[in-house]
């Protein structure tokens, strides 16, 4: 219901490219990747598309720099010092060397890129390892005292603290919409959360997650 109301009441927001030198074909790849992320595409497919985007961005940026250099040569020949200075300012950046250092599990500081990558790999393996033990599961009996149900004030507080401009999920409903519809949105989320709390049954879409290490 909310999704249908959003599609009917407001125009579809079109993202715009932030880099002036990016070509339309490269921007189409960026938009394609964004849509695949929303649909929950495979990580390999996203990584492959990201590599294509990076290569296309390098090509577009080099072409833009080449055009600026040609304009610089033209301005220099015509002694147009103001335009020459402004264009040089657009392409020059202060060099800032990068120092890479990280501490491994043994407490030693490593600086080589390969060693740093290996430290992060081991960390991610440990971080995402499944440590769940079924024997440690605490069962709730009929005699157990249940905690109070979820309050609407808790729902309001959760909505208030959500970040702005986050990518929408598979339901394609932005959090700004939930926030704008006020108490109606609070009531809907309260019903959903209370049902999960009372029954212990979670929607399948909420139990599925995909972790991609970057």
pLDDT of 118 over the 70 cut: yes
Give the residue, 142 or 67, on which the prediction is more confident: 67
Of the candidates 3, 212, 15, 7, which has an alpha carbon nearest to the alpha carbon of residue 128?
Answer: 212
pLDDT band (50, 70, 90) for residue 69: confident
Tens of pLDDT, residue by residue over 35-53, are 888 777 778 888 888 999 9
Helices (H), the chain: 2-9, 24-39, 43-77, 81-91, 113-127, 152-160, 175-180, 183-199, 204-207
Task: Tell me what the mean pLDDT of segment 70-82 comes to.
Answer: 86
pLDDT of 162 over the 70 cut: yes
pLDDT for 59: 92
């Amino acid at each position: 219901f909310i999704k249908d109301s959003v599609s009917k009441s407001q125009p579809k927001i079109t993202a715009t490219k932030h880099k002036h030198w990016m070509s339309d074909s490269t921007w189409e790849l960026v938009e394609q990747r964004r849509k695949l992320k929303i649909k929950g595409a495979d990580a390999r497919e996203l990584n492959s598309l990201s590599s294509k985007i990076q290569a296309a961005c390098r090509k577009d940026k080099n072409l833009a720099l080449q055009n600026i250099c040609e304009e610089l040569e033209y301005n220099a020949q015509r002694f147009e010092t103001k335009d020459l200075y402004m264009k040089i300012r657009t392409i020059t950046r202060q060099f800032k060397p990068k120092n890479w250092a990280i501490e491994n599990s043994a407490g030693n500081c490593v600086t080589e890129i390969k060693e740093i990558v290996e430290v992060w790999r081991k960390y991610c393996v440990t971080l995402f390892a499944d440590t769940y033990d079924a024997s440690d599961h605490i069962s709730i009996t009929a005699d157990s005292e249940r905690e109070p149900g979820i309050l609407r004030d808790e729902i309001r507080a959760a909505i208030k603290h959500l970040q702005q401009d986050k990518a929408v999920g598979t339901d394609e409903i932005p959090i700004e919409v939930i926030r704008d519809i006020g108490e109606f949105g609070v009531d809907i989320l309260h019903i959903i959360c209370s049902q999960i709390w009372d029954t212990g049954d979670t929607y399948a879409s909420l139990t599925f997650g995909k972790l991609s290490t970057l």
